[in-house]
Amino acid sequence: MPRADGRPLRADAQRNRDKILSAAVRVFAEDGLDAHLDRIAKEAGVGSGTLYRNFPTREVLIEAAYRNELAKLCHAAPQLLESMPPELALRAWMGRFIDYATAKLGMADALRALVESGVDPYVRSKDMMLDALTSLLEAGSRAGAIRADIGATDMFAALTGIALASGKAEQRQQAERLLDLTFDGLRASRH
């Protein structure tokens, strides 16, 4: 993430920023709109000044935390494809989608308040996820491991349904079973 003047952040400043964003997701998920920014700073292991230097308002922090979760999810697709076979990359990404959805669900009140303030943190979210899914599905199809007739839009709908039905942290085992069931339906026939 570059600074306001366009130069990249120092490595330690980037680490602090990342720790703040991770802590923000956890604290907003636990406390919703009642989350205290001082608690986020403390959980991130940084001072309040560091938090406010990076995120001058609650709204800026909420939006950045959400967008960071989205970016982690979408940027994982090419990384997974580089490190494992396409079908395993797709299945791993499906699990990360549930992680993203769980974080988003936990932050629902904070995100809703952000939208009500006139900020739309979801701009391009769906497009970014569809691009990631398309790359994973196409790689799996080219490898002969994933059916070619399943598009990213259908896969996104299936994952969204699983997230809505089993997106809470305490429902993770059920979500994993549903992901496995969905993944089994994606496999190319081996006749």
Give the mean pLDDT of the chain.
91
**Cα(69)–Cα(100) distance, rounded to whole angstroms?**
6
pLDDT surpassing 70 at residue 5: no
Q: What class does CATH assign to 63-186?
A: mainly alpha
pLDDT tops 70 at residue 7: no
Position 138 scores a pLDDT of: 97
What pLDDT was estimated at residue 176?
Answer: 96
Query: Mean per-residue pLDDT for 60-72?
Result: 93
User: Alpha-carbon distance 171 to 168, whole Å?
Assistant: 5
Is residue 159 over pLDDT 60?
yes
At 189 the pLDDT is 77
Q: Cα separation of 82 and 135, whole Å?
A: 12
> Which of 78-82, 157-161, 169-173 has the weakest average pLDDT?
169-173
Per-residue pLDDT band for 1 (boundaries 50, 70, 90) equals low
Q: Model confidence over 92-138: pLDDT tens digits?
A: 999 999 999 988 888 888 888 889 988 888 888 999 999 999 999 99
Task: State how far Cα 144 lies from the chain centre.
Answer: 28
Q: Is the dihedral of CA 42, 48, 50, 56 positive or negative?
A: positive
Q: Where are the domains of the chain?
A: 7-56, 63-186
Least confident of 66-70, 84-88, 110-114, 149-153: 110-114
Q: Over range 156-175, report the average pLDDT.
A: 92
Instruction: Give me 156's structure tokens.
Output: 């996104």
For the full predicted model, state whether its pTM sits above 0.75: yes
For 124-134, b where at least 16 C-beta lie within 10 A, e where not — what string? ebeebbbebbb
| Domain at 7-56: CATH code | 1.10.10.60
Question: Which residue from 166, 43, 151 is spatially nearest to 99, judged by alpha carbons?
Answer: 166
Q: Which residues contact 109 (CB under 8 A, 6 or more apart)?
A: 28, 32, 33
Collect all residues with Cβ–Cβ distance below 8 Å to 1 and sequence separation of at least 6.
Answer: 8, 9, 14, 17
So what's the pLDDT on residue 191? 44
